[in-house]
Each structure stands twice: as C-alpha cells, then as structure tokens.
C-alpha cells in the first residue's frame, strides 16, 4: 500500500495559532478572505465558490455555490444564517475540532456567507453535548464584536451582522433544518412539511440558510487559496478535501483531513494506524448511524460521493466507524436501531411506527426467536420508511439495514435457522 498522508487545506491553521485569540488568528492570516470580499465584491467570491465545486458537508452534498445564490435571491427585511454545529450523527466529531481549534475561521465563514447573501443575523447552533466548548465560542464572538468584525457597519463596510450562539438540548433530529428552527423558536424539534423550504420560511418563518460548520470553514480556505488549489485535491465529481472522523477498532482514532479518493483501506490501515491490536477488519459504517455498512472485502472502495453512491451509501457526516470481527453485525445493527428508536421525533407514521416494528424484530433476533417472516416484515418496513418518511431521518435510517442485507446476506440466514429450530 502506498504511503498516505493527511492534507491541511481546511485545517491549515490547526495548531498554527492560539485558537482562542483573535489577535493570533489575524497574525496567521485570518480575516484576509473577508477583506478580499469587502474589497472585491460578493459576485467574485460566489464565482470562486461555484468553481470550487464545494458540496455541503452536512450530509446532503448540495452544491454550496448554488445554495448561496438561491438564498441571495430570497428577499426579506430579516434573513438568518445558521451554522449547523449540531453534529448529531453517531461517530462524528470533526465539527468539534473546527469549533475548538479554529472557531475564528467558522465565524469568518459566517460573516462572508452573510455578506454574500445579504443576511443580517446569524446563529451558531451548537449541540448541548458540546457545552464544554460553548464559552470558548462565545468568547470568540465577543472578541469579534470588540474589533468590529461583528456588529454594526463591519470594518466600515456599511454591512452589519449580529451573531450569537444557541445551545441545542439533546436531540438528533434538530440537526435537520426545520427541526432546528422549531427548537430555536422554543418548540420541540420536529421537522415541518415542505414546501416552503427553510431558505424561504425557516426561523420565525423568515428566510434562513442552514449551513454546516465544515462547509463554512471550507469557504474561507477556498477564498484564501483559490478554487483551483481546492480542486487540486479529490476527483472530478468529488473535488477538494473532506474532514473525516475515524473511530472504533483502529490504533489511531481521530479527525483527519483527506483528499477525496483515498480508499477505506488507506484510511483504516494508513492514516488510522491499522486495526487495533492487529485484529481482523469486519465492516465500517460510513457517514453516521444513518450511513451504509461496508464489509472489509470492499475496503478498496474509494472515499468519494460517486463511489459510495454506487455502493448504496453516501459520505454523510464524514464518520467512519470501524468494527473488527469481535463485533457481531446484528448486535451492531440493534445499537443503530436503538438510536433511531430513541431519536425518531414521532411526527410521521412511517418512521414512528416503522421503528416500533424494527425494535420488535431486533428484540426477537436478540432473544433468538426471529423467523423468516420477521425478516420479510423487516424488508417491507424498511421499504415503506425509506420511501414515505417525512424527513431525512426516517428516509436514511434504512441505509445501514439495506446495505447490511446486501453485503452480509449470510448474517440474515439466521432468520431461517431460527425458524427451523422453532419448528423442531
């Protein structure tokens, strides 16, 4: 296997400055991209983002340039930019590192986004689980206010932008745009039906742009170095770099910035130092609890949007959870199912009732009483959930189960075994 290295495009400033000091951020070249924008106008910046081919890093992979332009065309007296730092997908902790080690770049990304889309108010929506870094974020916001990077008439540009932190309260579904708006309005975080979309009628029914922490950070680096530098990494369909969170049974779990196109093998056995204690790889789950299960025999699959799509999964949140052969696939899927059972907001029937059915089936599997009929029922439930659920949660929850059935059919043969045993 060829030697693989991390790259440092988005994470360029990690460790290069005292992450809590605005002054040292400025000395490291911080806020130059904003100056570029204020001097050259937003059209140039939007073009750069278009050309970079940057896709949203929150999971849906929507082209960021197009997203910003659509939001720019929404006209209203008040418009909001919301940084999605809810990071709720199990196995994901890369936004945590961006907030901890380079919060000023996240804030700069928000200001640039706000100026380019003519939004006057911003919110950083941070998950409650990260309460231990809330102060750090609020201090950075405060420093930016003191030096007029935030507030009225930023650096004499005539543009004003107000920014604050909002703490979630422990709910996975609140990472979804509408659910997030609902929770910020003091309601339980349940998604609304579309249309209208969040960009048209989100927080307080006003135009709202929900954008991921890493996407915002990437925007700043792209302006700093140019779209062509970004495109030197990755593939034609997956340009640039991506932050991944590698965890589980590897020697060196952690956050790595990679060019798109490395293989899972290169990530697991190269960057992450190989399987822990030399054990045998079993599978990885890609992109969070709602991500696909990829068996070790397919770890030469490339980490790109297009290769994953062919394998029936997606990049998702950038999580890679690595399991060795000590983890039984069906036990793992039960943990995944428990998660959704707990987090399903209950608003729509397919997801709420589907999860109840899945739970019954997985309990039967654990008790050794599942039958072939339960397996067929599971397939029907998954089909209905995936195609008719209201929000992305119910729609994507089926991916781990479907990919597990596809790649590990032998694991599901136990259903038939159980049945045989029951008959005897």
User: Which of 67, 59, 255 has its CA nearest to residue 175?
Assistant: 59
Pick one of ligand FMN, other proteins, ligand SF4, none as the site partner of residue 336 (Cβ within 5 to 8 A by kind): other proteins
Give the per-residue contact string, 104-143, with other proteins (x = CB under 8 A; - = no): -----------------------xxxxxx-----------
Could you tell me which residues come within 8 angstroms of residue 314 by beta carbon, excluding any fewer than 6 positions away?
Answer: 59, 61, 286, 287, 291, 292, 305, 308, 399
Question: Smallest distance from the beta carbon of 231 to ligand FMN, in angstroms?
Answer: 18
Options 88-96, 223-231, 275-283, 386-394: segment touching ligand SF4 (CB under 6 A): 386-394
Question: Smallest distance from the beta carbon of 351 to ligand FMN, in angstroms?
Answer: 10
| Cα 180-182-183 angle, rounded to 5 deg | 65
Pick one of ligand FMN, other proteins, ligand SF4, none as the site partner of residue 177 (Cβ within 5 to 8 A by kind): ligand FMN
170 touches ligand SF4 by CB under 6 A: no
Q: Which residues of 353-370 are buried (b: 16+ CB within 10 A; e: fewer)?
A: ebbebbeebbeebeeeeb
Question: Smallest distance from the beta carbon of 356 to ligand SF4, in angstroms?
Answer: 11
| Cα 231-261-407 angle, rounded to 5 deg | 145
- Residues lying near ligand FMN in the complex (CB under 6 A) are found at 56-60, 62, 67, 84, 86-89, 173, 175-177, 210-212, 215, 391-393
CA distance 36 to 302: 36
Pick one of ligand SF4, other proteins, ligand FMN, none as the site partner of residue 389 (Cβ within 5 to 8 A by kind): ligand SF4
Give the per-residue contact string, 345-384, with other proteins (x = CB under 8 A; - = no): x---------------------------------------
Pick one of other proteins, ligand SF4, ligand FMN, none as the site partner of residue 351 (Cβ within 5 to 8 A by kind): ligand SF4
Q: Which of 186, 195, 278, 409 binds other proteins (CB under 8 A)?
A: 186
Pick one of ligand FMN, other proteins, ligand SF4, none as the site partner of residue 348 (Cβ within 5 to 8 A by kind): ligand SF4
DSSP 375-391: HHHHHHHHHHHHHH-SS
Pick one of ligand SF4, ligand FMN, other proteins, none as the site partner of residue 129 (Cβ within 5 to 8 A by kind): other proteins
| β-strands 292-295, 281-286 pairing | antiparallel
Q: Is 406 helix (H, G, I), strand (E, B) or coil?
A: helix
173 touches ligand SF4 by CB under 6 A: yes
Contact 121, 160 (CB under 8 A): no
Region for 204 from its dihedrals, namely left if φ exceeds 0, alpha if ψ lies in -120 to 50, beta otherwise = left
Options 8-16, 121-129, 301-309, 339-347: segment touching ligand SF4 (CB under 6 A): 339-347
Looking at the DSSP bridge assignments, the partners of residue 323 are: 283
Count of chain residues binding other proteins (CB under 8 A) = 52
Pick one of ligand SF4, ligand FMN, other proteins, none as the site partner of residue 421 (Cβ within 5 to 8 A by kind): none
Q: Which of residues 202-231 bind other proteins (CB under 8 A)?
A: 204
C-alpha count within 13 angstroms, C-beta hemisphere, residue 217: 32
Helix and strand numbers (H, E) in the chain are: 18, 9
CA distance 417 to 409: 13
User: Which of 151, 176, 178, 181 has its CA nearest to residue 166?
Assistant: 181
Give CA 8 to chain center in angstroms: 19
Contact 8, 257 (CB under 8 A): yes
Question: Smallest distance from the beta carbon of 190 to ligand SF4, in angstroms?
Answer: 6
Closest CB to ligand FMN among residues 22, 222: 222
End-to-end CA distance of the chain: 51
393 touches ligand SF4 by CB under 6 A: yes
Question: Residue numbers of the site for ligand SF4 (CB under 6 A)?
Answer: 173, 190-191, 344-348, 351-352, 389-391, 393-394
Question: Residue numbers of the site for other proteins (CB under 8 A)?
Answer: 87-93, 96, 127-132, 166-172, 183-189, 204, 245, 247-249, 253-255, 285, 289, 319, 321-323, 327, 331-332, 335-336, 338-339, 342-343, 345
């Amino acid at each position: 296997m060829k030697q693989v290295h991390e790259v440092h495009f988005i994470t360029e400033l990690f460790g290069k400055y005292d992450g809590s000091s605005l002054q040292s951020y400025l000395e490291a070249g911080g806020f130059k991209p904003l100056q570029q924008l204020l001097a050259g106008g937003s059209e140039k910046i939007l073009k750069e983002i278009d050309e970079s081919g940057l896709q949203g890093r929150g999971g849906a992979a929507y082209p960021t340039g197009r997203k910003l332009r659509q939001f720019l065309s929404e006209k209203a007296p008040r418009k909001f930019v919301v940084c999605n730092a809810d990071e709720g997908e199990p196995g994901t902790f890369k936004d945590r590192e961006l907030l901890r080690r380079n919060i000023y770049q996240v804030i700069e990304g928000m200001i640039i986004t706000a100026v380019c889309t003519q939004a006057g108010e911003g919110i950083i929506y941070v998950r409650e689980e990260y309460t231990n870094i809330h102060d750090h974020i609020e201090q950075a916001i405060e420093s930016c206010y003191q030096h007029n990077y935030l507030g009225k008439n930023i650096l004499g540009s005539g543009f004003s932008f107000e920014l604050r932190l909002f703490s979630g309260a422990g709910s996975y579904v609140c990472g979804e745009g509408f659910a997030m708006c609902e929770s910020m309005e003091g309601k339980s975080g349940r998604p609304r039906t579309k249309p209208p979309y969040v960009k048209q009628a989100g927080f307080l029914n006003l135009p709202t742009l929900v954008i991921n922490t890493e996407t915002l950070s990437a925007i700043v680096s792209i302006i700093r170095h140019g779209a062509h530098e970004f495109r030197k990494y990755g593939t034609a369909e997956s340009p640039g770099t991506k932050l991944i969170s590698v965890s589980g049974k590897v020697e060196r779990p952690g956050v790595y910035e990679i060019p798109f196109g490395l293989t899972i093998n290169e990530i697991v056995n190269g960057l992450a130092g190989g399987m822990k204690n030399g054990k045998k790889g079993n599978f990885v789950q890609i992109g969070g609890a709602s991500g696909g299960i990829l068996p070790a025999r397919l770890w030469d699959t490339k980490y790109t949007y297009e290769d994953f799509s062919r394998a029936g999964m997606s990049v998702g949140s950038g999580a890679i959870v690595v399991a060795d052969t000590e983890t039984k696939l069906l036990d793992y899927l039960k943990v995944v199912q428990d998660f959704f059972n707990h987090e399903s907001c209950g608003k729509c029937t397919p997801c709420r009732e589907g999860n109840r059915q899945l739970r019954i089936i997985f309990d039967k599997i654990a008790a050794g009483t599942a039958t072939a009929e339960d397996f067929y029922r599971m397939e029907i439930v998954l089909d209905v959930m995936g195609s008719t659920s209201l929000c992305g949660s119910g729609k994507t929850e089926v991916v781990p189960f479907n990919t597990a059935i596809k790649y590990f059919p032998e694991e599901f043969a136990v259903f038939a075994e159980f049945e045989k045993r029951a008959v005897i």
